[in-house]
Structure 1
Amino acid sequence: MTSTSATAEARRSRTLGWVVGLSFTALLFDGYDLVVYGTVVPTLLADKSQIGALTPAQAGTLGSWALFGVLVGALTAGAIGDRVGRRRIMLVNIAWFSLGMAVTATTTSVVAFGAGRFFTGIGVGALVATVGALVAEFAPADRRNRYNAFVYSGVPAGGVLAALAAIVLNDVAGWRGLFWIGALPVLFLLPLAWAKLPESPLWLLSRGEEERAAEVSRRTGIPLPSPVGGPDTEVAAPAKVGYAALAARPLLVPTVLLGLMSFSGLLLTYGLNTWLPQIMGSKGYGKDYALAFLLILNLGAIVGGLIASWVADRVGAQRVVATTFVLAALALLLMPLGLPFGVLLTAVAVAGVGTIGTQVLIYGLVSNYYPTTARAAGVAWCAGFGRLGGIVGPVIGGILVSAGVGGSTAFQVFAVISIVGALVTVSVRGVARGRTPTADAGHHEATAARDAVPA
């Protein structure tokens, strides 16, 4: 290796470290926002002096308001992200969701609380939709699943943070203090991102800004595509950009299926994170035990998701996602069977791998699937449409809890959804280690027969 190439490689490592670290931290607070509501639901249900009287069904609906915001934020980011760039979306929405968490902490009525959750969700949705595109354009092609999995493991890591904060601080700071913690990124993460987060040179190149792309490439060490086909090479930009590219062949049918895959994953993720403490509490486990289940669920997702992503870089993300969906179904069916406590915790951890961990893998698969000119739109579509599943999940849980049918039925319903997710996953054609003919034509043609999963 020459001194010039060694210097470029060192710059690339530093740049990738900042991109991955900043993206992980942003999604850490996304996960915190996801789980913190589930930790405060028992308090809001029990004490009407907080934001007013609340029934379980209303709590489920209220939990979905943030997801409506995520839907709006994700789809909006997809509409403009392939046109205005990754950096601008990240900076604006770190500030946005921090402000939303602060506003929510001050509310005194159900309506105001729901409005604060909706506002927060817009910023969260835009970040989730942008991070996958950003990491995919900075990470080496043969390690994209691992880097994406690490970054998106920020979501379950945030869930762990929320569960720990609720156990340690709830009696000291109350539910409002837990939401104030979610506002901290505006103080430290936003200044760091402003200073250290570069624009994607691949995105600049896709917009025809060749001189600026070359300058950013030299400064960051991120290589631009070479004229000869290779693992980092993309074909010439198509005529259609963003959502228009998704609505045309060859991306239309895969985009629908990928959206359904994300719908299933996020329904399970939000349904379990919102209602697992309440369901386990109804089965005789105290408050601390119920929060411990949330902790194990998200820890399982982090560890299992990272291991699964390592496997995905070798055998293909599609196979791994389908397998983890099936594992989730098996774990969910076992959980209400009166298992010994240690075995029950293991089942909860496996359910975490198969639900939250699966969604981490889905984001990696999707962000690697699309070309640069449609990547933000593709990830945004899956994050946005998937959040409809996230909206449905807490509502289903609330209806089942209100009907008094017990945790067994809820777990069985979620298990069926896991199987549906697995079936949708294996139906997606054109996946070869996360690549498609559009995103990486030369490499795909050489490896599709070897790597693609038959559908």
Structure 2
Amino acid sequence: MTETTSGWASARHRRSITWIVALATLAMAFDGYDLVVYGTILPILMADPSQIGAISAQQGGALGSYALVGVMVGALFTGAVGDRLGRRKMMLVNIVWFSVGMGAAALSTSLTMFGLLRFFTGIGIGGLVATVGALVAEFAPQGKRNLYNAIVYSGVPAGGVLASLLAIGLRDAIGWRGLFWVGALPLVILLPLALVKLPESPQWLLVRGRTDEALAVSEKFGVPLPTSAPAPVEKVGFAALATRRYALGTALLGLMSFAGLLLTYGLNTWLPKIMADAGYDAKGSLAFLLVLNGGAIVGGLLASRIADRAGGPQRVIVTTFFLAAVALTLLTFGFPLPVLLAAVAVAGVGTIGTQVLIYGFVSNYYETSARAAGVAWCAGFGRLGGIFGPIIGGFLIGAGLSNNINFYIFAGIAVAGALVTLLVPAVRASRAAAPTPTTAAPAQA
């Protein structure tokens, strides 16, 4: 079974990939929901100590970071074991883990309990983020990888849009606990579908020497196998990242992700509070969050199409980082509301949308034996940036400094991210083994 010029080996191949991309996108949507829902409820928790206790601005930033510490732990753990246990198993485990964490957080009665459960939930999110990048890279047809990766990771801002809309429309009716219960829905919506429709990656099976299972997956789901045997590998997972081939690129990709996620989490956590302090009412301040994530979805998809046509996302990422710096600077000038909303939309493209492109860059930078580890490294190390984003905002707001200082700092980080991206070296191609007839399944219509 071979791919045609359109990228599809058969109609069944196309249906299978559509299901895989849809499931991965839905998983990422709940990641984005978790990211943004905290920002939507933070003003309530800070204003009403009877919920889980009194929360200062600094404590609010710290609570926002606990989940990100969990994401870092989950991503790094998945990187350590994901290239050995497989993509499907890691997806299923982390869907359950994340859902249970969100539901349990809705029952929190104290700051300590809430913080611990945010950390617990983050572990599952980190596992999902690290796994879906490898999954898409190994299933998406050539020429569509950046687009499909963007579709999947655009689930993050899509989930942010969902959280913003639900907060605007239902927060007063169902409260912050109800919004967290919505985050537990993957257990009853996503998990049953994934059990039936999500196959293991044939590329991963071949690398692990499980040729018969790879052939069975290919036949059942119509997914073509490589026309040549996988190149022999001496090191798998994190060990491969430290090799001469990947070491410098891995360090720079980690710094890119650090910058992208610092901007993403910093803005999503504090933008409603900053705009509320600027005089906008509750729904008006949440509208800025909606525009930020909506801009990221549209801009990220357009940028990914450009990346596919340009032969890669590196130059596109440089451009979007610089766009973020410009947009964030414009937010300090007190322009009329329509101009501010446009600037926030562009900032969404340059921050959240840029992180979508970074995951695509990372997923295709590594070969199968190191792919999950590479994505996990960037997701895990990048989450350090995500941890610092809410903390920086909380510190500056708590210190009584101008909100513009936040925007200037975020703009400077975007410029630094662009410069780092320019330095990422091209990876040397490995030598593939000679073609072998055992890696191709019989053609199926």
TM-score > 0.5, shorter chain as reference:
yes
Tell me the secondary structure at the aligned position of residue 364 of structure 2.
Answer: helix
Structure 2 counterpart of 1:326: 322
Aligned residue for 1:142, secondary structure, equals coil
- C-alpha separation between the residues in 2 aligned to 1:8 and 1:198? 17
Structure 2 partner of 1:396: 392
Is the Cα–Cα contact under 8 Å of residues 367 and 375 in structure 1 kept in the other structure? Answer: yes
Say whether 1:262 aligns with 2:263.
no
Aligned to 2:414: 418
In structure 1, the partner of 2:113 is 112
Tell me which residue corresponds to 2:172: 171
Taking the aligned partners of 2:314 and 2:325, their CA distance within structure 1 comes to 17
Identity between Structure 1 and Structure 2 (%):
64
The answer on whether the counterparts of 2:206 and 2:230 sit within 8 Å (CA) in structure 1 is no
- Offset at 1:404? 1.2
Question: SS in structure 2 opposite 1:157?
Answer: helix
Match of residue 339 from structure 1: 335
Runs of 4+ with >2 A deviation: 4-8, 436-442
Unpaired segments ≥5 residues, structure 1: 228-233, 431-435, 443-455
1:8 shift after superposition: 4.6
Which residue is equivalent to 1:142? Answer: 143
Provide structure 2 residue ranges, at least 5 long, that are not aligned to the other structure. 434-445
User: Following the alignment from structure 1 to structure 2, what is the Cα–Cα distance between the partners of residues 118 and 439?
Assistant: 39
Q: Does 2:428 correspond to 1:437?
A: yes
Summarize the alignment of residues 104-253 of structure 1 with structure 2, pairs less than 5 Å apart.
Answer: 104-227=105-228, 236-253=231-248
Question: Highest relative contact order (Cα 8 Å, sep 6+), 1 or 2?
Answer: 2
> Using the alignment, how far apart are the partners of 2:247 and 2:219 within structure 1?
36
Q: Distance in 1 between matches of 2:226 and 2:196?
A: 26
Contact kept in structure 1, 2:265 and 2:386, CA below 8 Å: yes
**Number of aligned positions between the proteins:** 430
In 2, the alpha carbon distance for the partners of 1:310 and 1:378 equals: 23
Q: Say whether residues 1:287 and 2:282 are aligned partners.
A: yes
Instruction: Compute the displacement of 1:296 (Å).
Output: 0.1
The 10-residue stretch of structure 1 (7-16 or 361-370) with the greater mean CA deviation from structure 2: 7-16
Change (3 A) 1:441 1:214: closer
Q: Helix, strand or coil: the match of 2:50?
A: coil
1:46 alignment partner in structure 2: 47
| 1:142 Cα deviation after fit | 1.1
Cα separation, 1, equivalents of 2:431 and 2:373 = 17
CA distance, structure 1, for counterparts of residue 403 and residue 54 of structure 2: 24
Of 346, 353, 356, the match for 1:357? 353
CA contact (8 A) 1:370 1:439 kept: no
Across the aligned residues of Structure 1 and Structure 2, the Cα RMSD in angstroms comes to: 1.7
Equivalents in 1 of 2:94, 2:254: separation in Å? 23
Cα offsets for 1:140-162 (capped at 9, x unmatched)? 12110000000000000000000
Structure 2 CA distance, aligned partners of 1:25 and 1:440?
A: 36
The aligned residue for residue 63 of structure 1 is 64
Counterpart in the other structure of 1:85: 86
TM-score by length of 2: 0.94
Q: 2:441 aligns to what?
A: none
> TM-score by structure 1 length?
0.92
1:409 paired to 2:405 = yes
Q: How far apart, in 2, do the equivalents of 1:112 and 1:439 lie?
A: 49
Supply the distance in 2 between the matched residues of 1:60 and 1:374 (Cα, whole angstroms): 34
Distance 2:244 2:421 in 1: 19
Match of 1:451 in 2: none
> Alignment partner for residue 307 of structure 1, among 302, 309, 329?
302
Match of 1:379 among 353, 375, 395: 375
CA drift of 1:439 comes to 6.3
How far apart are the structure 1 equivalents of 2:326 and 2:189? Answer: 41
AA partner of residue 308 (structure 1): A
